[in-house]
Chains A and B, each alone.
Chain A
Amino acid sequence: MNETTLLKMRGIDKSFPGVRALQQVDFTLNKGEIHALMGENGAGKSTLIKVLTGVYPKDAGTIELEGEGEVSIHSPQDAQNLGISTVYQEITLCPNLTVAENMFIGRGKGAFTNWKEMNADADKLLQSLDIPARATQQLSNCSIAVQQMVAIARAVDMDCKVLILDEPTSSLDEQEVEKLFGLMRDLKAMGVGIIFVTHFLDQVYEVCDKITVLRDGQLVGEYEIKDLPRVQLVAKMLGKEMDDLSDIKGESDEYKGNDAGEIVFEAEGLVSDAGIKPFDFHIRKGEVNGFTGLLGSGRSECVRAIFGADRVLGGKVKVHGKEVKINKPIDAMKNGIAYLPEDRKVDGIIGDLSVRDNIILALQVMKGFFKPFTKAQAKAFADEYIEKLNIKTASADKPIKALSGGNQQKVILARWLLMHPEYLILDEPTRGIDVGTKVAIQKLVLELASQGMSVTFISSETDEMLRTCSRLVVMRDRKVVGELSGDDLTQNKIMATIAGGE
């Protein structure tokens, strides 16, 4: 082990039923280093943290700590005893106790507490870390940032060598973030190694020394901050090497949408309770556009707001230039809007119901509670779309959960196409399905658009979007940061916009 190496994780494997969450991941942390752990949602960041803190047992690999050699961590308590402390996004302290009590709770050596001494110690520590709080203050009276700092102070005082900050800044305003960074730099000077998990790129470049990038449970690499420009970082996270990103555009000369068509749908200052900033948006007849950005950047939340899937808090919505109210999905459906949700299992399929019931569901709901389709009608609809979309199922009576992912997705697609919407929103329609179906869905999108349907298409695979969309709305940190169309529609341009800054 190197002199300055604090923590060394090698070859970490971790599987959950059906998922390999971590495969052969290495991670190294030095003394006095702030190390960003980056990756999209689901890349394996939090699994790695949980393995390190003993929440999950690892399947394979070793963890070495400075001065301890190889260690086995079976519980969060073990981790704490070894000097690994974690501060989570949500405050896990007791708001009704004082700051000092929160710092020392559960750590008394004996049955008695010397309150005076405890408060004095706490004040000393708070001062040394420059935390604007008094020992005797009730915690709930402090701002969220200060509460977070108290949590850090508690961790630091427990002789922590490794401090893990898991998305600590997501509920802080800019000034509070600055204060927190000040504290992090102080700790760094004291030789503490800090693992910083965040999805704010700006913050990474402001405070971190090194970056480790994970993707799909695998290590992409470890980089010095100065060696990895933002665009590169985004590329690493998305899994595109800059060199590979030859422009795929032009590969197809299929229909690209009609910029001059009538505006079918228009939103102004739309905002929902899912934490996105208000945004403006419009789509024309026969246009295919898309929302792009990293996972978690708010692109799904935007389309959910359009469909009324999340609670809409404000903004104006117009359909064909006429203002309408869309508060819940049925409102959107009545206005000719259809939405294929991102998470097929949770929001899409009704697992135990038959393929037929799944196909007719949306149209049936539109038709009304007291007007069920006859068996013959339902069968006709189902058979028509099973054939049209080439859905592979033994019969329309099979429960949808028995189908493969791609065929399930086609059933959901059939459900919405049956409704003959004017505006179709597809959120990750190609995720987790085979290549053949992916291509078929992309083709279908362009075909529908040529018939006059407006389509919003979201995909994690940028090239898919480049192939289908004529206009892209780019999102970062839950707000719209740019819009690209025409010649700007290139991988490089998209990534630059996502990365921002510089």
Chain B
Amino acid sequence: MTKNSKGNALGVIKAIASNQLFIPILALVLLAVVNLIVDPSFFEIKDVTNNAGYLVKSGALVTILDYGSELAILAIGMTLVTAASGGQDISVGATIAIAGSAMLRVLCGGNSRPDTIQAPIIVAFLVACIVGMLCGAFNGMLVSIFKIQPMIATLILFTAGRSIAAWINNNELPIVPDPKFAYFGGFIPGIPIPTTVFIAAICIIIIALVLKFTNLGLYTQAVGINESSSRLNGINPTFIKFLSFVILGLCVAVAALIKVSRLSTINYSVIAKDIEMDAILAVALGGNALSGGKFNIWASILGAYVIQFLTTTLYKFNVPSDALAAYKAVVVIILVVFSAPKAREYMEMFVKKLNPGRKEAA
């Protein structure tokens, strides 16, 4: 009887542990507990009046929501690319620089310090979207048509992207004069929550609708799991892979809007530096196989906020920002090791050893 209930309890634990959201939620809880023990004020949310004169929320949690949102947007695209192509796009940061630069070029009209914006923000944003999607199309073409490994294919833009970004604005560093442009990476007057949260929410709603009302999810997973079989079922794997990169390009353009808006300017060599690693990490943390196939986009999005939680916590603990990567690497190692089939075998053996009576009970 006791053995039986013990077996059931283990079964429940196993069921929970096998849920994809388990890892990101566990990580989130761990981080929250650590912060709660060290400094409970971490969770305080204060109302402050910002220098534009509006009441806004402030606090570490707001920071996490703010910066986690741009990562969440990228995680959406990265999840699709990972699922379809079984590889990752490492040119995200460089593409943000390109799309952001294009946006500034349109807004400032090639003049580094204009008095007014030269085109409506929406036009600049649409141009950035087109540029982002073109970059995605370039990567997608290399991967889907020329069958180049995604990491190798995207290495091209990774290397050249920031120079291209600088070239778009003749290496000038334009500053957008319109304070409205700063809303996207900051606050809209009168609304106390960072705008990025709303932008991310819109992106999440859109992808949810797309996944519900199209077969994007089914096709992407089918192609990622078994390309040859998908083709024989009438799917065009080349197009699906291509499409995933174009969608990521669109996500990149949205992230570029946020990034450029934060400071109303751009620094080609450092903007969104290493952000691709965080995006990939978000996908992995969400329990999605980096080798492609089945995916859970909600887990990736949650993973993105967990990464930002980790980053903010590390900043709080005075970890130098050049050492952040090392800490994240540790997380990656743990994730990769634990998701490897060999490690799972060992864990199962371990569980069996712990619970030798289970066989009899069953």
In the complex they form, whether A and B have CB atoms below 8 Å apart is answered with yes
A362 in contact with B229 given A370-B214, A372-B213 (CB within 8 Å)? no
Residues of B within 8 A of A330 (CB): 234-236
Would B232 and A329 count as touching, CB distance under 8 A? yes
Would A341 and B233 count as touching, CB distance under 8 A? no
Provide the bound-state CA to CA distance between A309 and B235, in Å: 12
Residues of B within 8 A of A (CB): 212-216, 218-219, 221-222, 225-226, 228-236, 293-294
Partner of B233, one of A346, A362, A371: A362
Question: Is A353 located at the chain interface by the 8 A CB criterion?
Answer: yes
Provide the bound-state CA to CA distance between A114 and B231, in Å: 56
A353 in contact with B232 given A361-B218, A364-B218 (CB within 8 Å)? no
Would A352 and B293 count as touching, CB distance under 8 A? yes
A369 in contact with B234 given A352-B225, A361-B222 (CB within 8 Å)? no
Residues of A within 8 A of B214 (CB): 369-370, 372
Would B225 and A350 count as touching, CB distance under 8 A? yes
Residues of A within 8 A of B216 (CB): 369
Would B234 and A365 count as touching, CB distance under 8 A? yes
Would B229 and A346 count as touching, CB distance under 8 A? yes
Known A-B contacts: A347-B229, A366-B234. Give 14 more (CB < 8 A).
Answer: A329-B232, A330-B235, A330-B236, A347-B228, A350-B222, A350-B229, A352-B294, A353-B221, A353-B294, A361-B233, A362-B233, A364-B215, A365-B234, A372-B218
Provide the bound-state CA to CA distance between A447 and B260, in Å: 66
Would A351 and B225 count as touching, CB distance under 8 A? yes
Residues of B within 8 A of A328 (CB): 231, 234, 236
Provide the bound-state CA to CA distance between A348 and B293, in Å: 15
Residues of A within 8 A of B235 (CB): 330, 365
Provide the bound-state CA to CA distance between A328 and B216, in Å: 20
> How many residues of chain A get a CB closer than 8 Å to chain B's CBs?
28
Main secondary structure of the interface of B (DSSP, over half): helix
Would B213 and A348 count as touching, CB distance under 8 A? no
Provide the bound-state CA to CA distance between A339 and B235, in Å: 14
Number of A-B contacts (CB under 8 A): 74
What mask results when residues 392 to 404 of chain A are scored 1 for a CB within 8 Å of chain B, else 0? 0000000000000
Residues of A within 8 A of B (CB): 307, 309, 328-330, 333, 339, 341, 346-353, 357, 361-362, 364-366, 368-372, 415
Would B226 and A372 count as touching, CB distance under 8 A? no
Residues of B within 8 A of A371 (CB): 215
Residues of A within 8 A of B213 (CB): 370, 372
**Which residue of A has the minimal Cβ distance to B211?**
A372
A193 nearest CB across to chain B (Å): 41
The 9 A-B residue pairs with the shortest CB-CB distance in the complex, in nearest-first order: A330-B234, A365-B234, A352-B294, A350-B225, A350-B226, A352-B225, A362-B233, A333-B234, A372-B215
Provide the bound-state CA to CA distance between A360 and B236, in Å: 17
Residues of A within 8 A of B231 (CB): 309, 328-329
Provide the bound-state CA to CA distance between A347 and B230, in Å: 8
A349 nearest CB across to chain B (Å): 7
**Which residue of B has the minimal Cβ distance to A307?**
B232
8 pairs from A and B in contact (CB 8 Å cutoff):
A309-B231, A349-B226, A353-B222, A362-B234, A370-B214, A371-B215, A372-B212, A415-B233
A235 nearest CB across to chain B (Å): 33
Would B234 and A353 count as touching, CB distance under 8 A? no
Provide the bound-state CA to CA distance between A351 and B293, in Å: 9
